[in-house]
């Protein structure tokens, strides 16, 4: 019976290996999950589950909120609008109470029919919002508020100041052979809008097929020059700190974090212009904590929440409530009351032919 | 098995577990691959269509990436066989406390896969251990960017991470060869290489196949190592499937791509079966 002895001991060894892999896999998965969520206190407090971009649930301003309302806030980060939409819709809007949606995702969220229309009269800080955020088209449809705007910012170019004595004047630096293997761009189909701006097409969310074809060629030519495509803030900051990158597209959050780590980083908006985003808090219509979610939104557009998120991310706030605490110099630096600056930023909005954008991106990334 | 009456309650839970967590999800994937996702209205049309499969056929990127993945999986498998064989033989023939030897091989599996992948980032990076060593040894004058964020980094990581899965079945197979057979071969006049080719290899083949199934299919499905350590050109079929489910929301297309990967693995298993190795298991 040598063959069945072979089989049994083989199965025994493979079973041991499978058990080890299973344990390792579960541990690994649990570690990854726990890393994106702070430990929940065992209590009968209400828990707010938030799906958002990095930096929007920093303990520095979440802590006071939790104390004030005797609750727990847990978060899940998403690295891109697409990922955010996917995570939300996979759970039919039941997994999270709140989401911080950017303009290029709002239409999908609204269409998913999982959002709670918000009664803004219940928000005591709503009137403090700058006028352009009272009923912006990306989150207010036919007078119904599907969300409330709370921060905005530009997709900037950041660079190592040791390599660039002066800020690069053009996005060209990310397409230049001189910086081969030292540059990076954001791994999301929405980056196509930045390429459109670089090519001089100001109406960067309205691209026809021949424009998309040209952009695809440019992206394919750029691909061998890139060190990597970045997926999140940690990715970019890590790479700069380890000397892997000298220039990259990024969010002001990365500049802020790298400055805090005393890294010589510079930030600029090149001459071709930049895309930007304006983020909206939206509530799930099946949330069991609607009252608490409304309190969260009120807090985030009030003085404390705005100051907290601005300090962490260096993004621009949407509410005048924070002006006294921020001071006129920072308000000016963040262009918070500068309508003209906001207007010339090409804020993320969802192109009508976004499916074609995704196709181009998939083809380039393959 | 003694009798069906005894077998059924013993097998029952396992079969149920297999059905719920393995078979049913696979069937759901297959069914989903015949649907259509409408990105404008964010709904999925469930009427039967082969459209996803024709989508895959129409765009060369899918078969290019699939072929890239198959090549990498084959390369990793061959490398792991070459690395695992000496290690398994060493534990089987030279090591007194074999269970300790095996334990040392298995221990890395106790750490998270992510930890091991990140470890390679620190080793291969611009300011990592490898570059520092090569500069110290005057092989390089400044750090090389060729190690990290490249197909090479992926290849090294995969080879390292799947190695235990190749060592264990090889060890088992080697351990089962009666030493008398090797002595008999020597007595009959065969030297080392001839004994290896005619006696050891045929007996060890089931172990090689078992290990190959593990390393090949694990590489075929992986998307984490390409994201962490790969370069701009390192997307594997796992990444494409992941982006359909996680970003594009095109679950039907992701399901169809998954069926394609399963088909490739099925071919691999059929080829493996042809060698007769599966019977010996």
Tens-digit pLDDT profile for residues A273-322: 999 999 999 999 999 999 999 999 999 999 999 999 999 999 999 999 99
* A338 against A37, higher pLDDT: A338
- The predicted structure's pLDDT at residue A12: 56
Domain for residue B262, yes or no? no
| B-contacting residues in A 142-161 (Cβ below 8 Å) | none
Q: What does the block give as tokens for B19?
A: 């059905």
User: If you measure CA to CA, which chain B residue comes closest to A31?
Assistant: B112
| Nearest CB to A366; choose among B61, B106, B112 | B61
Q: Does B171 touch chain A (CB under 8 A)?
A: yes
Domain for residue B51, yes or no? no
- The torsion angle over the Cα atoms of residues A5, A10, A12 and A15, rounded to 10 degrees, is -150
- The predicted structure's pLDDT at residue A35: 45
Which residues in B lie closer than 8 A to residue A229 (C-beta atoms)? 232
| A-contacting residues in B 62-81 (Cβ below 8 Å) | 62, 64-65
Q: Does B252 touch chain A (CB under 8 A)?
A: no
* B41 against A238, higher pLDDT: A238
**Contact flag B210-A20 (C-beta cutoff 8 Å):** no
Residue with tokens 């449809």: A141
- The predicted structure's pLDDT at residue B3: 62
Domain for residue B101, yes or no? yes
A156-273+351-365 homologous superfamily: Periplasmic binding protein-like II (3.40.190.10)
- The predicted structure's pLDDT at residue A212: 96
Q: What are phi and psi of A225, to 5 degrees?
A: -85, -15
Q: Helix (H, G, I), strand (E, B), or coil: what is residue A316? A: strand
**Neighbour-count burial for B234-259, b at 16+ CB within 10 Å, e otherwise:** bbbbbbbbbbbbbbbbbbbbbbbbbb
Domain for residue B205, yes or no? yes
**Contact flag B227-A231 (C-beta cutoff 8 Å):** yes
| Nearest CB to A21; choose among B109, B230, B247 | B109
Q: CA of A91: how far to CAs of A88, A132, B178, B250, in Å?
A: 6, 32, 56, 15
- The predicted structure's pLDDT at residue B254: 94
Q: Is A38 a residue whose pLDDT tops 50?
A: no
Q: Is A3 a residue whose pLDDT tops 80?
A: no
**In this structure, are residues B53 and B256 in contact, taking their beta carbons and an 8 Å threshold?**
yes
Range of the domain at B240: 70-253
**HSE (side-chain half, CA atoms, 13 Å) at A235:** 22
Question: CATH for A46-151+277-334, among 3.40.190.10, 2.60.200.20, 3.30.565.10, 3.40.50.2300?
Answer: 3.40.190.10
Cβ-Cβ contacts under 8 Å between A and B: the total is: 132
Q: Is A1 a residue whose pLDDT tops 70?
A: no
Domain for residue B153, yes or no? yes
pLDDT bucket at A91, cuts 50 / 70 / 90: confident
Look over chain A and give the mean of its residue pLDDT values, rounded to a whole number.
87
Considering its fold, how many domains does chain B have in total?
A: 1
Classify residue A348 as left (phi > 0), alpha (psi -120 to 50) or beta: beta
Domain for residue B12, yes or no? no
- The predicted structure's pLDDT at residue A45: 80
Residue with tokens 């996005």: A171
Which residues in B lie closer than 8 A to residue A25 (C-beta atoms)? 113
Q: Please, where are the H alpha helices in chain B?
A: 4-18, 24-32, 51-58, 60-89, 98-106, 113-124, 129-136, 151-175, 179-187, 192-195, 201-221, 224-229, 237-243, 251-274, 277-280
Domain boundaries, chain A: 46-151+277-334, 156-273+351-365
Encode pLDDT of B36-47 as tens digits. 998 877 788 899
- The predicted structure's pLDDT at residue A297: 96
**Contact flag A242-B165 (C-beta cutoff 8 Å):** no
| Integer-rounded Cα radius of gyration of chain B | 23
Domain for residue B32, yes or no? no
User: If you measure CA to CA, which chain B residue comes closest to A230?
Assistant: B227
**Contact flag A108-B173 (C-beta cutoff 8 Å):** no
Residue by residue, DSSP assigns A213-225 as HHHHHHHHHHGGG
Residue with tokens 């300090």: A311
| Nearest CB to A229; choose among B232, B247, B248 | B232
Bridging pattern class, strands A226-230 and A183-186: parallel
| Nearest CB to A13; choose among B41, B111, B172 | B172
Bridging pattern class, strands A144-145 and A226-230: unpaired
pLDDT over 90, % of chain A: 70
Q: Does A22 touch chain B (CB under 8 A)?
A: no
| Separation in Å, CA of B63 to nearest CA in chain A | 10
Residue with tokens 């994937």: B29
Residue by residue, DSSP assigns B1-40 as ---HHHHHHHHHHHHHHHIIIIIHHHHHHHHHTT-EEETT
Q: What does the block give as tokens for A353?
A: 């032919």
Residue with tokens 């309205």: A206
- The predicted structure's pLDDT at residue A355: 86
Which residues in A lie closer than 8 A to residue B64 (C-beta atoms)? 366
| B-contacting residues in A 193-212 (Cβ below 8 Å) | none
| Separation in Å, CA of A168 to nearest CA in chain B | 23
User: If you measure CA to CA, which chain A residue comes closest to B226?
Assistant: A228
* Residues in chain B, pLDDT under 50: none
Q: Is A18 a residue whose pLDDT tops 70?
A: no
CATH number, position B120: 1.10.3720.10
| A-contacting residues in B 39-58 (Cβ below 8 Å) | 39-42
**Contact flag B173-A6 (C-beta cutoff 8 Å):** yes
**Contact flag A243-B127 (C-beta cutoff 8 Å):** yes
Task: Identify the burial level of B23 via C-beta atoms within 10 angstroms of its C-beta, where 0-12 means exposed, 13-18 middle and 19 or more buried.
Answer: exposed
């Amino acid at each position: 019976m040598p063959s069945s002895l072979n089989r049994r001991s083989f199965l025994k060894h493979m079973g041991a290996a499978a058990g080890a892999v299973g344990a390792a896999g579960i541990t690994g998965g649990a570690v990854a999950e726990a890393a994106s969520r702070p430990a929940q206190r065992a209590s009968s407090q209400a828990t707010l589950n938030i799906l958002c971009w990095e930096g929007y649930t920093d303990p520095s301003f979440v802590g006071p909120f939790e104390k004030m309302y005797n609750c727990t806030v847990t978060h899940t980060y998403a690295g891109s609008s697409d990922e955010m939409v996917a995570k939300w819709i996979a759970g039919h809007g039941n997994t999270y109470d709140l989401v911080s949606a950017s303009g290029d995702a709002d239409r999908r969220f609204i269409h998913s029919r999982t959002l709670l229309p918000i009664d803004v009269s219940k928000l005591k800080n709503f009137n403090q919002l700058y006028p352009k955020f009272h009923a912006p088209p990306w989150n207010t449809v036919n007078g119904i508020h599907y969300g409330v705007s709370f921060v905005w910012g530009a997709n900037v170019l950041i660079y190592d100041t040791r390599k660039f004595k002066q800020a690069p004047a053009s996005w060209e630096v990310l397409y230049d052979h001189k910086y081969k293997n030292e540059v990076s761009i954001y791994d999301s189909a929405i980056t196509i809008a930045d390429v459109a701006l670089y090519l001089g097409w100001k109406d960067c969310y309205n691209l026809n097929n021949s424009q998309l074809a040209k952009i695809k060629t440019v992206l394919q030519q750029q691909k061998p020059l890139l060190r990597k495509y970045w997926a999140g803030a940690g990715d970019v900051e890590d790479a700069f700190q380890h000397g892997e990158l000298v220039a990259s597209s990024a969010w002001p959050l990365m500049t802020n974090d790298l400055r805090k780590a005393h890294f010589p980083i510079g930030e600029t908006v090149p001459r071709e212009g930049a895309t930007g985003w304006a983020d909206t808090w939206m509530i799930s219509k099946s949330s069991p904590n609607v009252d608490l979610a409304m309190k969260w939104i009120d807090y985030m557009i009030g003085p404390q929440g705005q100051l907290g998120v601005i300090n962490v991310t260096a993004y621009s706030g949407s509410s005048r409530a924070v002006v006294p605490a921020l001071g006129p110099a920072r308000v000016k630096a963040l262009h918070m009351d500068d309508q003209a600056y906001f207007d010339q930023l090409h804020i993320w909005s969802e192109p009508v032919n976004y499916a074609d954008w995704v196709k181009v991106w998939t083809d380039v990334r393959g | 098995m003694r009798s069906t009456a005894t077998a059924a309650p013993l097998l029952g839970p396992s079969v149920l577990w297999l059905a719920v967590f393995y078979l049913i999800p696979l069937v759901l994937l297959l069914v989903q691959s015949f649907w259509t996702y409408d990105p404008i209205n964010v709904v999925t049309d469930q009427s039967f269509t082969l459209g996803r499969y024709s989508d895959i056929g129409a765009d060369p990127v899918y078969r290019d990436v699939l072929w890239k993945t198959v090549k990498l999986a084959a390369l990793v498998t061959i490398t792991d066989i070459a690395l695992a064989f000496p290690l398994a033989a060493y534990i089987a023939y030279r090591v007194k406390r074999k269970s300790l030897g095996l334990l040392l091989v298995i221990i890395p599996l106790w750490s998270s896969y992510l930890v091991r992948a990140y470890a390679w980032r620190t080793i291969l990076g611009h300011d990592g251990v490898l570059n520092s060593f090569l500069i110290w040894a005057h092989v390089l004058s400044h750090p090389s960017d060729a190690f990290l964020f490249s197909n090479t980094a992926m290849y090294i990581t995969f080879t390292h991470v799947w190695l235990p899965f190749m060592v264990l079945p090889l060890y088992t197979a080697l351990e089962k060869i009666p030493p008398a057979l090797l002595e008999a071969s020597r007595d009959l006049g065969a030297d080392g290489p001839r004994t290896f080719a005619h006696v050891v290899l045929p007996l060890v083949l089931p172990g090689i196949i078992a290990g190959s199934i593990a390393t090949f299919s694990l590489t075929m499905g992986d998307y984490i190592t390409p994201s962490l350590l790969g370069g701009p050109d390192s997307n594997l079929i796992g990444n494409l499937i992941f982006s359909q489910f996680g970003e594009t929301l095109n679950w039907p297309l992701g399901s169809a791509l998954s069926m394609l990967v399963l088909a490739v693995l099925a071919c691999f298993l059929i080829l493996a079966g042809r060698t007769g190795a599966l019977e010996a298991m």
